[in-house]
Structure 1
Amino acid sequence: MKVVVAIDSFKGSLSSLELGLLIEKGVKKVYKNAEVKKVPIADGGEGTVEALVEGTNGKFVDIKVHDPLMRVIDARYGIMGNNVAVIEMAEASGLPLLKPEERDLRKATTYGTGELIKDAVEKGCREFIIGIGGSATNDAGLGMMQALGYKFMDKDGEVLGYGGEIMEKVAEIDSRGAIEGLDKCKFNIACDVDNPFYGPRGAAHVYSRQKGADDEMVEYLDSSLQKLALTLKEKTCKDIAEIPGAGAAGGLGGGFVAFLDGELKPGIDIILQEVGLAESIEGADFVITGEGKIDFQSIMGKAPMGVSKLSREKGIPVIAIAGCVADDAGAMHDHGLDAFFSTINYPVSLEDAMDKERAGIFVEKNIEEIFRLVKICEKKFS
């Protein structure tokens, strides 16, 4: 019996690695000699750095960076065992870093995200996985590039400051101060939305209100993004206006494409390729996946969907577990997920359900029972 465990974390409760160990225990209570291969995964959002670093025997790096309002804070990123840097932009430029009354998209900058990248480049990393969810910014990555050595000037040649307010003023781009090695780097951007750079579905109209913008600010930012897109087309020969995902994270997706030749891809696709899941599941009898909650949205690029799709191509049955299974989760059956189970054995409060010790008991016990059923079927139909 070969079982591959490729499960996302139960946010706020159990990590991907912890779940893998618990599932292995449950399987081996029934199949003592089973080969259980654990492949920690995430979908590019919260928990991605932890899953990829722990799953590849990598390391965490803690440094000082600037938050969206240029205050010094502590932040962390990861370097995988193969020297690929894994960064979540929200660590330095995320909305949770600001109080509601501090949210100002004219001033908020992605400078800190650039500092994370700079540190990794200086440590020898040349390949990056960047998660760009949860931003507090709408500066199209200009702040990030400033941290990486770029300067942006207005029509009078004056060097511009930081934040979304400089987008409309950019007339010249000076890349001569770019940090050494940046031109050798490859950037895979975990982007699970398809919004264009500007317009009714662009960065400002779709996302800026949740970051503190009123109607007037939305129109101002959208106009600024449009002006910047024209400047970038002229100066970099990159037309990012309609690229799907260019509007993600306040235009950061477009900034990665324009300045760093970044590739925007669904987060789960990047992660599964990086951890080599296709190779790991070769010859497997079952694949176990899951996340904290399985519902209709799980189809939209979440970890169980990516794992199910890959396993289905190889004809391997996929079982999922989750802390919560919604009424509409049945849609997953049409996309390669053969069966799913909630790990909650009896009525408990959400707080109790997420308690690490209790959740661990639930997971291990339910996996044991699932494989007891597998064993019954094996004997019955063999």
Structure 2
Amino acid sequence: MRILIAPDKFKGTLTGVEAAAAMSEGALRVYPEAVVRTLPVADGGEGTLEAAVAAGYDERINAVVGPIIKPVGAAWAYNAKTHTAVIETALASGYLLSEPTVENSLRAHSYGSGQLIASALDAGATEIVIGLGGSAMTDAGSGALRALGLKLLDSHGNLVPLGGGSLLDVAAVDPSGLDPRLTNVRLRMAVDVDNPLFGYNGAAHVFAPQKGADADAVEKLDAGLRHLASLVRESTGVDIDVSGAGAAGGFPALFLAYTKTTIERGFLLVAEMVGLDAALADTDLVITGEGSLDAQSLSGKAPIGVADAAHARGLPVVVVAGHISVTAAELAKHGVVAAVSATDVAGSSEAALADAARYTTRATSEALNGI
């Protein structure tokens, strides 16, 4: 028996690596002679770097400017064989690095993420995967590109301050100082949302309130994003208000105009990065899961992506999650033959959260015993 264990994180309790370890223990209790391989996955946001490291990428740490100026140590990963780097905006420019106040929602920036891109270029990267999510800023990626040489100028030719709250003051975008190495690198933005850059479904209206913005700040941020998009369209002819450009405070937007950037479905990009297809070709059973498996999961989140890929190969799939709120019939359409939650095994969500690894292990054994 060859078992592939490929979970996403159990947000708030277990990382993808920890969840995979707990599931592995549960699987070996039922099939002690099995050959078990763990391959954590992600949707392209938080957990993307961890999945890369678990797949063999080298982890590195650089000191960068955090979203509110204070320096932070931010991890990233590199594969010297493929010259591919992996960066998460959350680790250099994340909301956990910034207190969610109105003031901070306006001045938070992505400069540190740009510094990580520069580090990847220094290492020789020709491809950079950027996991978007968990960000503190709403600056359209302007801070990151400023770390790489872009200039945002006001009507007097002076640099405007960092942060989304200053975008309305931009009179010109000057790309002449951009790092020339950007012309030879492919930037792949991993997203799991379809939000455009601005408007009522855009970066400011949907995500900025979580970062501390009140109604006035949201309107100012949205107006700034709209204004910047207009300037860019006039000067380059590129429309940066596209599906997915609103991810991570609009991080992909300016990159679309000034670099070789693509916006890609997060799970598919991570699956390619960690070699999921090759792993599926060498297994008999797949176990996947996440913290909460719900209706949103069915729209293409990582565990269902894993299940669909396995189902296409005729492989049975077992799902283990912290909580499951979809039916067995719904999961069966994706090749899932058994699904057990840690909450059901523990008897309550409180108990499951208090000892997530233990109950994930037990839920895995129960699910496998059921088939």
After TM superposition, the score normalised by the length of structure 1 is 0.87
The 3-state SS of whatever aligns with 1:221 is helix
* Pairs within 5 Å for 1:191-270: 191-241=191-241, 243-270=242-269
The 3-state SS of whatever aligns with 2:68 is coil
Q: Which residue of 2 aligns with 1:78?
A: 77
CA distance in 2, matches of 1:120, 1:226: 30
Cα distance, 1:283 vs. partner? 5.2
- Runs of 4+ aligned residues of structure 1 deviating over 6 Å after TM superposition are none
- Note if contact 1:321-1:343 (Cα within 8 Å) is conserved in structure 2: yes
CA distance 1:354–1:207, shift in 2 (3 Å): closer
The 3-state SS of whatever aligns with 2:319 is strand
The 3-state SS of whatever aligns with 1:116 is helix
- Note if contact 1:106-1:164 (Cα within 8 Å) is conserved in structure 2: yes
CA distance in 1, matches of 2:205, 2:214: 10
The 3-state SS of whatever aligns with 2:267 is helix
* Pairs within 5 Å for 1:170-181: 170-181=170-181
- Note if contact 2:286-2:310 (Cα within 8 Å) is conserved in structure 1: yes
Cα distance, 1:41 vs. partner? 1.4
Structure with the greater alpha carbon radius of gyration: 1
CA distance 1:341–1:25, shift in 2 (3 Å): same
- Note if contact 1:6-1:38 (Cα within 8 Å) is conserved in structure 2: yes
The 3-state SS of whatever aligns with 2:51 is helix
Cα distance, 1:349 vs. partner? 6.6
Q: Which residue of 1 aligns with 2:364?
A: 367
Q: Give the partner amino acid of 1:151.
A: K
CA distance in 1, matches of 2:222, 2:20: 44
The 3-state SS of whatever aligns with 1:296 is coil
Q: Which residue of 2 aligns with 1:378?
A: none
CA distance 1:265–1:109, shift in 2 (3 Å): same
- Note if contact 1:8-1:303 (Cα within 8 Å) is conserved in structure 2: yes
Which deviates further from its counterpart, 156-165 or 328-337? 328-337
CA-atom RMSD, angstroms? 2.5
Q: Which residue of 2 aligns with 1:64?
A: 63
- Note if contact 1:69-1:107 (Cα within 8 Å) is conserved in structure 2: yes
CA distance in 2, matches of 1:110, 1:168: 17
Q: Which residue of 2 aligns with 1:156?
A: 156
Cα distance, 1:327 vs. partner? 5.8
CA distance 1:205–1:361, shift in 2 (3 Å): closer
Q: Give the partner amino acid of 1:248.
A: A
Which deviates further from its counterpart, 339-348 or 123-132? 339-348
How many residue pairs match? The answer is 369
Is residue 104 of structure 1 aligned with residue 98 of structure 2? no
Q: Give the partner amino acid of 2:284.
A: D
Cα distance, 1:33 vs. partner? 4.0
Is residue 118 of structure 1 aligned with residue 118 of structure 2? yes
After TM superposition, the score normalised by the length of structure 2 is 0.89
Cα distance, 1:239 vs. partner? 1.0
CA distance 1:21–1:94, shift in 2 (3 Å): closer
CA distance in 2, matches of 1:25, 1:217: 48
Q: Which residue of 1 aligns with 2:183?
A: 183
Question: 1:320-375: CA deviations, max 9, x gaps?
Answer: 1112223667643334433211235343673x5345xx54444444434444444x
Q: Gaps spanning 5+ residues in structure 2: where? A: none
Is residue 291 of structure 1 aligned with residue 290 of structure 2? yes
Question: 1:137-186: CA deviations, max 9, x gaps?
Answer: 11111111110111122333323231123323333333333235222111
Question: 1:35-77: CA deviations, max 9, x gaps?
Answer: 3332221222222211211222x22222221122222222222
Q: Which residue of 2 aligns with 1:147?
A: 147
Question: What percent identity do the matched residue pairs reach?
Answer: 38
CA distance in 1, matches of 2:89, 2:116: 9
Cα distance, 1:306 vs. partner? 0.8
Q: Gaps spanning 5+ residues in structure 1: where? A: 375-382
- Note if contact 1:103-1:136 (Cα within 8 Å) is conserved in structure 2: no
